[in-house]
Structure 1
Amino acid sequence: MYFAAVAISIFAGVLWVVLRYLGRRRKEYAVGFFHPYTNDGGGGERVLWCAVRAIQAENPDLSCVIYTGDEATSESLAARARRQFGVELSSLPKVVRLQKRRWVEPKSYPYFTLLGQSLGSMVLGMEALLKSTPLVFFDTSGYAFTYPLARALGCQVVSYTHYPTISSDMLARVLRRTSAYNNNLVIARSHLLSLLKALYYLLMMLSYGLAGRCVHLAMVNSSWTQDHIQRLWRVPNRIKRVYPPCDTRTLQTIPLRRKGESTYFISVAQFRPEKAHGVQLEAFARLLEGLHAADFSTQSRSSSVRLKLVGSCRNKEDEERVEKLKLRCSELGIAEQVDFLVNVTYRELVDLLGGAIAGLHSMIDEHFGIVVVEYMAAGAIPIAHNSAGPKMDIVAEQEGCRVGFLAASVAEFASAMAKVLCMPEEELLEMAALARQRAMSFSEARFDEDLKAAISPILSHTKHKGLNQG
């Protein structure tokens, strides 16, 4: 574990010296957005395009450069922003294609994944910065180990952090020897291996904190993330909370009263392990069991209740995960009442949200939870995990009344789903209306306003520097 910290320190030191020398060259009058995956379809990508739009509006003369590992053109990315997220860019961004994205892929590092990805992000970041060195380097994907490189090159470093790469919560789970998607059972069962992993995490936290201190402005997406970043980076005066942009405007035009022959719950999440789709399937199976055991009227209704899992697949591993989830549905006996909808368009997603009675979210320690806000804006009652962003920021009371449900176990999720099904329609509509009102706190307009206020000093400095270059 000691060698992990030494490796990062030596690597960073060599790069710092080299880049300080290279940093004397002329920089492009641009904001460079470091976002290696521009096709993930999640909340992070929405942040990217809304941030580009906001900066284009704030400073039209400033070019926007997208560093991506995807095969994309300026036209295709602008079309994707419009098609997937309803974001209209005022001008086409410049695209810088990254060839070394495999350096940040988890599968490249079967062991010491955090260390591998951290060092790999430095390689990828160096490729990006040497291909195009902007006046402002804006990381929207959480690769903090690129910040020392960008700062060494003389860039203003801005980040939008969705969640810390390493956190005290992760360390606590290892010390408690809790098995999770990022702490396998073999390590959790061993006292020695858990101790060694805890030491590894401590060293990674130290390195992450040092990298984070190179930022000029750190925007964070929630109270939970802000708390962790403040403790890790120790730059409180440079941290601003900017809630992520949620599509409240389009979704709020959906009628609150649900229409359609079937009653269904919806889950919108990328098919990644941490999203805990398995918990949702087990909760849905338990819900159906409870409905079948109830009176005749409830039994007849249970046959029309469905669960729709909506999400994107980034790669083959995600596609294989979907197939495993389908097999799990068969094992639970719910395959006939569960639909998998992969890589749907934005318009299709809006239609699906408009018919859902409630929306499920089951990720533990979700940094914020954009999808929970989208449920609320669309009139679907949120049933979210009782932790982090949903608990601290989103599913809070509105005008002293409940706007949704929080759950932490299969039983609690099933119970919340049953409560939604059993609520009188008028009571359900009242809760949905309050939830929609609450969602306004996280609108795209609010994001634009807060982001512009936070980044305005950086852009003013950039404009002054650009005039000096000219």
Structure 2
Amino acid sequence: MAADQERFEEQKGQETAKQAERTADGADEDWENVEAEASAPSGNGGKDAQDWDGIVGFFHPFCNAGGGGERVLWAAIRATQQRWPKAKCVVYTGDHDAHKDAILARVQDRFNIHIHPPNIAFLYLSTRHWALATTWPHFTLAGQSFGSIIMAWDALSLLVPDMLVDTMGYAFALGFSKLLFPSMPTGAYVHYPTISTDMLASLDPSSDVGGQGVNAGQGVGVRGRAKRVYWQAFAKLYASVGSSIDVVMTNSTWTQAHVQALWGPVRAKKRKTPLPQNAETDIAVVYPPVAVSELEQEVDVSAASEAAREPVLLYIAQFRPEKNHHLILQAFATLLKKRRARSQKAGADTPKLVLVGSVRDDSDSKRVYQLRLLANELNVRDDVEFHLDAPWPAILQWLRRASVGVNGMWNEHFGIGVVEYQAAGLIAVVHDSGGPKVDIVTEIDGQPTGFHATTADMFADAFDQALSLHDPLAWRKRARRSAIRFTEEQFQRKWLEQMDRLVALLQ
């Protein structure tokens, strides 16, 4: 890192004249502005706090996946670099096939996030396969959690940082790290609880959520009762390791409520310091960063842009099973049947479904293949497009063209893609659960910004309504106003508030 910094300083010296010319022409240099805008001194003490030069370990074994969780990771690293320019950020990853330059180039291409290269390093784990669901066909929750402990041992064998922050949800890895190094501050950014009260309730067919989730209604019979006991025991263990983490952040009020339900009581018993004034919990909500400002600049929402919109349904999501792409395909097929059955106006455009997402591994590739087969079986193959690992400029083009943004995941923890829809003026049709329902697609000034649905028929009806609005521009403007709550600036401010707490534990 020191050598990289020296080379970086040399290059800066050689380009001083060119930078001066650009400044004279009114241009600005990105990293100079980044350092200049490093946040004002916090409660931990002015210059000394800003000069902190310790090592921050970011535990994120899939850092090159390109999803919403990775956007949080890179925005967090950028904010940390801005706040503490001398700090060293180390990412523990299992992406052996990606070199540092390639990873950072992808971050810039996919998220338009610029990382200061000299102050970041990647340590490659050889044990990532232990945390894959495919490694544990039975007792998957316990197996993956045990696998995360193996990865934590691997990571700490490579380097013990001054503080360790998990940004993927491996609470057991942090608990194990705390066991080995009790004085090392630990932080967790929880996207989705490993187990939740909704998951436990989903085992009961008669419960409100009994028909939802991968294990819906499976809590009956001898095997079902055994599964219930196993999950309840796991939940207690999960609460125990969660109580050992020094700083906990969640990405939505939905996630906070579930984490608080499991971790809160045990954390309250172990709490050494009182809660902040007027705070009911020490678990903070830090909404993920969304490129709202950039989308406002890049995507026009006006009468002129409305004429360029097409009847396109856009779904931005990784090709993972929980994203429920098959439900959206079925709903889209139902929509086309309904529209074709009706007498259509002359020249009416046929809607198109566009699926944009990253592919992490072979299992994701197979899933895409299966979705293509499903589209063919539903007779909508010609009206569905797949765009894999699309760069940010391509995503921007679709956000300009599309009319409706889609999210089909049950209990989506937050939904960065949904906020992107809103910031780009798309009318969102989302699952009636989780963060999209509670935090994002809510009313503005007493008026809706989108639609909620659960079944394929409900989604089809919502698609039809969204494509048939009398005044869609008014909806788009309300959606854009709603997205202001989730800017990158808001994330940076709240992230640094929690990082300040971790740094204070070292002083």
CA distance in 1, matches of 2:466, 2:185: 49
CA contact (8 A) 1:56 1:91 kept: no
Is the alpha carbon distance of 1:436 and 1:184 closer, same or farther for their aligned partners in structure 2, counting shifts above 3 Å? closer
Maintained 8 Å contact 2:64/2:103: no
Deviations 1:237-290 (A, max 9, x none): 431110011111121120123455842110111111111111111111111111
Cα deviation code 1:378-404 (max 9, x no counterpart): 111110111011111111111221111
Residue 25 of structure 2 corresponds to which residue in structure 1? Answer: none
* Cα distance, 1:184–1:376 mapped onto 2, change above 3 Å: closer
Which protein has greater RCO, CA pairs closer than 8 Å, 6+ apart? Answer: 1
Partner of residue 17, structure 1: none
How far has the Cα of 1:176 moved from its partner?
2.3
Aligned equivalents of 1:262, 1:182: Cα separation in 2: 34
Indicate if the aligned counterparts of 2:213 and 2:410 stay in contact, CA closer than 8 A. no
Provide the rounded CA distance (Å) in 2 between the counterparts of 1:87 and 1:195. Answer: 47
Equivalent in 120, 124, 141 of residue 114 of structure 1? 141
Equivalent position amino acid for 2:57 in 1? G
Q: Does 1:250 align with 2:294?
A: yes
Q: Which residue number in structure 2 is paired with residue 230 of structure 1? A: 260
**Corresponding residue number in structure 1 for 2:215:** 183
Task: Give RMSD over aligned pairs.
Answer: 1.7
Structure-2 residue corresponding to 1:168: 197
1:129, 1:224 → 2: CA distance? 32
Residue 500 of structure 2: aligned partner: 456
Show structure 2 runs of 5+ residues with no match.
Answer: 1-52, 268-279
CA separation of 1:261 and 1:237: change in aligned 2, threshold 3 A:
closer
How far off is 1:184 after superposition? Answer: 7.4
Are 1:357 and 2:389 counterparts? no
Percent identical residues: 36
Q: How far apart in 1 are the matches of 2:216 and 2:489?
A: 41
Q: Distance in 1 between matches of 2:55 and 2:178?
A: 15
Provide the residue aligned with 1:19 in structure 2. none
Do the aligned partners of 2:308 and 2:401 also contact (CA within 8 Å) in 1?
yes
Match of 2:340 among 261, 270, 292: 292
Looking at structure 2, the residues matched to 296 and 173 of structure 1 have their Cα atoms a distance apart, in angstroms, of: 42
> Is 2:480 the partner of 1:436?
yes
CA distance in 2, matches of 1:179, 1:436: 33
- Structure 2 residue 300 is matched with structure 1 residue 275: no
TM-score normalised over the length of structure 2? 0.82
Give the Cα separation in 1 of the matches to 2:476 and 2:259: 33
Would you say the 8 A contact 1:135–1:156 is kept in 2?
yes
Q: 2:451 aligns with which of 393, 405, 412?
A: 405
> Against the structure 1 CA distance between its residues 149 and 441, is the aligned structure 2 distance closer, same or farther, given a 3 Å change threshold?
same
* TM value normalised by structure 1: 0.88
Cα distance in 2 between the residues matched to 1:277 and 1:308:
11
Counterpart of 2:3 in structure 1 is none
SS at match of 2:78: helix
Number of aligned positions between the proteins: 430
Q: Verify: 1:61 aligned to 2:93, yes or no.
A: no
438-447 or 226-235, which moves further after superposition?
Answer: 226-235
- The secondary structure found in structure 2 opposite 1:333 is coil
Deviates more, 1:198-207 or 1:65-74: 65-74
Match of 2:26 in 1: none
Deviation by residue 1:313-333 (Cα, 9 ceiling, x = unmatched): 111111111111111111111
The equivalent of 2:159 in structure 1 is 132
Task: Indicate whether 1:94 and 2:121 are aligned.
Answer: yes
Cα contact 1:216–1:238 (8 A) shared by 2? no
Deviations 1:93-115 (A, max 9, x none): 11110000011010001110011
Is residue 66–residue 95 contact of structure 1 (8 Å, CA) maintained in 2? yes
CA contact (8 A) 1:258 1:356 kept: no
Instruction: For 1:261 and 1:212, locate their aligned partners in 2 and report how far apart those are by CA, in whole Å.
Output: 46
SS of equivalent to 1:110 = coil
Cα separation, 1, equivalents of 2:365 and 2:401: 26
Residue 463 (structure 2) pairs with residue 417 (structure 1): yes
Give the stretch that moved more between structures: 80-89 or 104-113: 80-89
Letter in 2 for 1:307: L
Tell me the distance in 2 between the aligned counterparts of 1:157 and 1:418.
Answer: 48
CA contact (8 A) 2:142 2:234 kept: yes
Aligned partner (choices 143, 151, 171) of residue 178 of structure 2: 151
1:84 to 110, 113, 137: 110
Shift of 1:182: 3.1
5 Å-filtered alignment, 1:235-384, equals 235=267, 237-253=281-297, 254-256=299-301, 257-258=305-306, 260=308, 262-297=310-345, 300-302=347-349, 304-384=350-430
Give, in whole Å, the separation in 1 of the partners of 2:212 and 2:227: 14
Answer whether contact 2:449 2:478 (CA < 8 A) is retained: yes
Structure 1 position 351, deviation (Å): 1.1
| Unpaired runs of at least 5, structure 1 | 1-27, 465-470
* Displacement of 1:454: 2.1
Aligned partners of 2:107, 2:370: CA distance in 1, in Å?
30
